[in-house]
A and B are shown apart, each in its own frame.
Chain A
Amino acid sequence: MMSFIKLASCVFLSTIFISNISIAREGDQISIVGSSTVFPFSTIVAERFAKNTDFRAPVIESTGTGGGVKLFCAGIGLEHPDITNASRAIKETEKKDCASNGINPIEYMIGYDGITFSNSKGSEQLSLTKEEIFKAVSAKVMSNGMMVDNNFKTWSDINPSLPTIEIDVLAPPPSSGTRDAFVELVMHDTCKKIYNMSKKDYKASCSALREDGAVTEAGENDNLIIEKLSANKDRFGIFGFSFLDQNKEKVKGSIINGVAPSISTIADGSYEVSRPLYFYIKQEHVGVIPGLQEFGDYFMSLATSESPLEDAGLIPKP
């Protein structure tokens, strides 16, 4: 019993000791969280911002869009981030979450990112439709008006004009914004427009990728996907356009619904698998954190054509 009292008092004392040291973040540094797709662009802006002005360089974390918004909406004060990057617009539920903590996010749209379905430079460039991609990767496919397990083994099973190679696709993990966007823009879109399914139905049966070995989940590291595509000529990978652009001597993007991915086709919307990119500033921190508004303005001034962001693969608003 004695030792239990000792233990309890020990825990109690150390708690008091630690809670007395309350140190906040250094208040002159902007803290940014959010999407891993926007991360490379955000870091370019941050570096130039710090070098061109007297403000300190912001600290940028790549937490994923969902995680970023959660941290962003957690509260006002130095321990919470000032900006969150997002590869989709903020959801209604997230807005409510923010509002309940008294936060008003200001939205900035910086441009677009395309999602590519690519293979090795040495292999044939395929021309696919969204439905064909859906049939290759979805866990369930449409057969006589019913959703059944996907049994397509080779691309020619889907469409006889496609080559007779086994379906082998590397997909990003569920935590990634690229995966969310791919599911929404290719899989849900197919079920909605071609199979005329209701929102509830397509969300339930058109969201899962197949697990029989034809689709492999790769990690968040897109460089690894590109290495694996170069090693196996019959393999396809799903990743953002900026990575295709940086590695165009190793991989090439398939034509989807008749359009090949390029800066111009994504910007004018003719390449259909693309999504808008955003960042959100916490209005309540403007004026408190030095340089916050200036950083936002600077980001927008770089999100144009002929800018370093375009060189890094961002497709600016036309």
Chain B
Amino acid sequence: MIRKSIQSRRARETRLKIYGITSICFALIMLATLLISIGLNGYSALQQAYFKVDISVNMDKLVDDSGTINKNKMNLFNWDGLVKSALREFFPEVKERNEKKELFAIISANAGYDLKEIVKKKALGSGSHTLSVWLHLSDDADQYLKGRLSIDIPEEDRRINNKQIAWVNSLVERDIAKLKFNKTFFTSADSREPESAGILGSVVGSALTLFVTVMFALPLAVMASIYLEYFAKPGRITDFIEVNINNLAAVPSIVFGLLGLSVFLSTFGLPRSAPLVGGLVLGLMTLPTIIIASRASIRSIPPSIREAALGLGASKMQAAMHHVLPLAAPGILTGTIIGMAQALGETAPLLMIGMVAFIIDIPTTFTSSATAMPVQIYMWSDSAERAFYERSSLAILFLVAFLISMNLLAVVLRKKFEKKW
């Protein structure tokens, strides 16, 4: 009788264990599938198709009398024409207007501007110079070289026709077109041409935003939790505050965006699309998370430490600042980093305050227009151009890597500074 019941209890135990293992396996498999599928879509964006042209520039046409580069002359100069005529030298048989248009479609629409920037950076002296430069091929040629455009379907349905394929292949055979590391992706901001688009603008935007978030949320949260733990008298008001903080942590993030729109933008007249406002909104959003983590961390410090300090004549303030806070710091830090990771991945609140926008300039101050990394991913995934698909996947990988390293940092910091009693 007893043996039987023990047997069935053991069996139940084994079943529970199996359920647990299955669910962990399921979660791991899902995560792996997600990462692998994104990785397979995104890895090819690490490379970009370039072509090499030799271009001669006469600097005398571009400088003032004093010898410095004249901005106006630079802007008016026909850089596009220069690149196009250099390209046509490879294919002298192309003469007809329509054919020329098709030929120029295999190089980036930004090739001329890119050349201008290269010349600007080189700061060449006066006289004629011959430069050998690598410029972007168009996104369609790039996708073809990566094998992402199928060429089995009828020509008229393709983004790239047979002639263009032949031209691209001929450039590759002559070794003046190839896939190279896609530096542009890491050094430039958004663009409408996939080959010129990069994530730097949104990374800087996210960094500026998170800086404001930390500076705003962390001190407030720490002060609030010290007050609630040590100074507030237990009573209705304290209970009310506590309930509200817990509720606030569960409020959908878009609500904070609406709050930001009506308070920061409409009432205080702060600028739209600015990291300052984004940071404040995300700060409000993460505030409850950090408060809850900080309170838990402060509460876990043995009361004897504080009581000893008080007993030796320290004031409440000294006990909190000198003894409790340093010991609670690892826990507070972990809470903060997790809150920051949450804020880094948010787009919904940013939508209302204008940070979901197309911005070409890399932001420099807290009030210049900026966007954030998840926003960039969202905007690329919504673009019609096929080449943005792999770029958004790569940006996702970048964001995930960033989040994982933030969480790792939280774990490491906790392990390092944790004290055991």
Question: Of B157, B233, B276, B361, which contacts A248 at CB under 8 A?
Answer: B157
Q: Contacts A40-B383, A61-B354 given; indicate if A51 touches B269 (C-beta within 8 A).
A: no
Contact, CB under 8 Å: A56 / B384 = no
**In the bound complex, what is the Cα–Cα distance between A25 and B71 (angstroms)?**
26
**At the interface, yes or no: B191 with Cβ under 8 Å from chain A?**
yes
Contact, CB under 8 Å: B356 / A50 = no
On chain A, the residues within 8 Å of B207 by CB distance are none
On chain B, the residues within 8 Å of A50 by CB distance are 360-361
**At the interface, yes or no: A249 with Cβ under 8 Å from chain B?**
yes
**At the interface, yes or no: A39 with Cβ under 8 Å from chain B?**
yes
**At the interface, yes or no: B86 with Cβ under 8 Å from chain A?**
no
Question: Which B residues from 274 to 331 make CB contacts under 8 A with A?
Answer: 274, 276
On chain B, the residues within 8 Å of A166 by CB distance are none
**In the bound complex, what is the Cα–Cα distance between A222 and B153 (angstroms)?**
23
Contact, CB under 8 Å: A78 / B360 = no
Contact, CB under 8 Å: B192 / A51 = no
On chain B, the residues within 8 Å of A308 by CB distance are 109
- Tell me how far the C-beta of A143 lies from the nearest C-beta in chain B, rounded to whole angstroms: 40
Question: Of A51, A60, A223, which contacts B382 at CB under 8 A?
Answer: A223
- Tell me how far the C-beta of B337 lies from the nearest C-beta in chain A, rounded to whole angstroms: 25
Interface string of B175-205 (1 = CB under 8 A from A): 0000000000000000111000000000000
- Tell me how far the C-beta of A203 lies from the nearest C-beta in chain B, rounded to whole angstroms: 30
Question: Of A22, A33, A121, which contacts B268 at CB under 8 A?
Answer: A22
Contact, CB under 8 Å: B382 / A220 = yes
**In the bound complex, what is the Cα–Cα distance between A30 and B383 (angstroms)?**
22
**In the bound complex, what is the Cα–Cα distance between A50 and B150 (angstroms)?**
35
Question: Of A53, A57, A61, A78, which contacts B273 at CB under 8 A?
Answer: A61
Which of A92-100, A239-247, A273-281, A297-305 is the interface stretch?
A239-247
On chain A, the residues within 8 Å of B270 by CB distance are 21-23, 79
Q: Which residue of A lies closest to B157 (CB)?
A: A249
**Which of B157, B274, B276, B369 is packed against the most chain A CB atoms within 10 Å?**
B369
Question: Of B110, B267, B276, B384, which contacts A23 at CB under 8 A?
Answer: B276
On chain A, the residues within 8 Å of B386 by CB distance are 246-247
On chain A, the residues within 8 Å of B368 by CB distance are 26
**In the bound complex, what is the Cα–Cα distance between A3 and B240 (angstroms)?**
12
- Tell me how far the C-beta of B110 lies from the nearest C-beta in chain A, rounded to whole angstroms: 7
**At the interface, yes or no: A231 with Cβ under 8 Å from chain B?**
no
**In the bound complex, what is the Cα–Cα distance between A51 and B188 (angstroms)?**
14
Question: Which B residues from 91 to 150 make CB contacts under 8 A with A?
Answer: 109-110, 113, 149-150
Contact, CB under 8 Å: B381 / A61 = no
Contact, CB under 8 Å: B268 / A18 = yes
- Tell me how far the C-beta of B201 lies from the nearest C-beta in chain A, rounded to whole angstroms: 11
**At the interface, yes or no: B9 with Cβ under 8 Å from chain A?**
no
**In the bound complex, what is the Cα–Cα distance between A21 and B157 (angstroms)?**
56
Contact, CB under 8 Å: A223 / B381 = yes
- Tell me how far the C-beta of A14 lies from the nearest C-beta in chain B, rounded to whole angstroms: 9
Q: Contacts A3-B232, A54-B75 given; indicate if A46 touches B360 (C-beta within 8 A).
A: yes
**At the interface, yes or no: B399 with Cβ under 8 Å from chain A?**
no
Contact, CB under 8 Å: A221 / B381 = yes
On chain B, the residues within 8 Å of A29 by CB distance are 369
Question: Of B72, B267, B358, which contacts A39 at CB under 8 A?
Answer: B358
**At the interface, yes or no: B345 with Cβ under 8 Å from chain A?**
no
On chain B, the residues within 8 Å of A313 by CB distance are 384
- Tell me how far the C-beta of B262 lies from the nearest C-beta in chain A, rounded to whole angstroms: 12
Interface string of A209-247 (1 = CB under 8 A from B): 000000000001111000000000000000000110011
Contact, CB under 8 Å: A247 / B384 = yes
- Tell me how far the C-beta of A305 lies from the nearest C-beta in chain B, rounded to whole angstroms: 12
Q: Contacts A39-B358, A51-B110, A61-B357 given; indicate if A121 touches B157 (C-beta within 8 A).
A: yes
Contact, CB under 8 Å: A43 / B384 = no
**In the bound complex, what is the Cα–Cα distance between A24 and B384 (angstroms)?**
34
**In the bound complex, what is the Cα–Cα distance between A223 and B383 (angstroms)?**
7
**At the interface, yes or no: A47 with Cβ under 8 Å from chain B?**
yes
Question: Of A4, A46, A121, A249, which contacts B358 at CB under 8 A?
Answer: A46
**At the interface, yes or no: B73 with Cβ under 8 Å from chain A?**
no
**At the interface, yes or no: B385 with Cβ under 8 Å from chain A?**
yes
Contact, CB under 8 Å: B354 / A3 = no
**At the interface, yes or no: A144 with Cβ under 8 Å from chain B?**
no
On chain B, the residues within 8 Å of A25 by CB distance are 271-274, 367, 369
On chain A, the residues within 8 Å of B367 by CB distance are 23, 25-26
- Tell me how far the C-beta of A242 lies from the nearest C-beta in chain B, rounded to whole angstroms: 6
- Tell me how far the C-beta of B245 lies from the nearest C-beta in chain A, rounded to whole angstroms: 13
Question: Of B267, B359, B381, B382, which contacts A57 at CB under 8 A?
Answer: B359
Contact, CB under 8 Å: B71 / A54 = yes
**In the bound complex, what is the Cα–Cα distance between A78 and B71 (angstroms)?**
28
**At the interface, yes or no: B159 with Cβ under 8 Å from chain A?**
yes
Contact, CB under 8 Å: B157 / A22 = no
- Tell me how far the C-beta of B33 lies from the nearest C-beta in chain A, rounded to whole angstroms: 17
**In the bound complex, what is the Cα–Cα distance between A132 and B367 (angstroms)?**
53
- Tell me how far the C-beta of A294 lies from the nearest C-beta in chain B, rounded to whole angstroms: 13
Contact, CB under 8 Å: B192 / A23 = no
On chain A, the residues within 8 Å of B267 by CB distance are 19
Q: Contacts A43-B358, A61-B354, A248-B157 given; indicate if A79 touches B233 (C-beta within 8 A).
A: no
Contact, CB under 8 Å: A47 / B191 = yes
**Which of B157, B193, B356 is packed against the most chain A CB atoms within 10 Å?**
B157
On chain A, the residues within 8 Å of B357 by CB distance are 59-62
Question: Of B71, B157, B369, B384, which contacts A223 at CB under 8 A?
Answer: B384
On chain A, the residues within 8 Å of B358 by CB distance are 39, 42-43, 46, 59-62
**In the bound complex, what is the Cα–Cα distance between A24 and B356 (angstroms)?**
19
On chain A, the residues within 8 Å of B153 by CB distance are 121, 249
**At the interface, yes or no: B158 with Cβ under 8 Å from chain A?**
yes
Question: Which A residues from 20 to 38 make CB contacts under 8 A with B?
Answer: 21-26, 29, 31, 33
Contact, CB under 8 Å: A53 / B75 = yes
**In the bound complex, what is the Cα–Cα distance between A109 and B359 (angstroms)?**
24
Residue numbers of A with Cβ under 8 A of B are 3-4, 7, 18-19, 21-26, 29, 31, 33, 39-40, 42-44, 46-47, 50-54, 56-57, 59-62, 78-79, 81, 121, 220-223, 242-243, 246-249, 308, 312-313
Q: Can you report 19 A-B residue pairs in the complex whose CB atoms are below 8 A from each other?
A: A7-B237, A21-B270, A25-B274, A29-B369, A33-B354, A39-B358, A47-B192, A47-B193, A53-B75, A54-B71, A54-B75, A59-B354, A60-B359, A61-B356, A61-B358, A121-B157, A223-B382, A223-B384, A242-B384
Q: Nearest 7 CB-CB pairs, A to B? A: A25-B271, A57-B360, A246-B384, A60-B358, A61-B357, A59-B369, A43-B358
Sample of 7 more A-B contacts, CB < 8 Å, known A26-B368, A79-B265, A249-B150: A23-B276, A40-B383, A43-B358, A51-B113, A54-B72, A223-B381, A223-B382
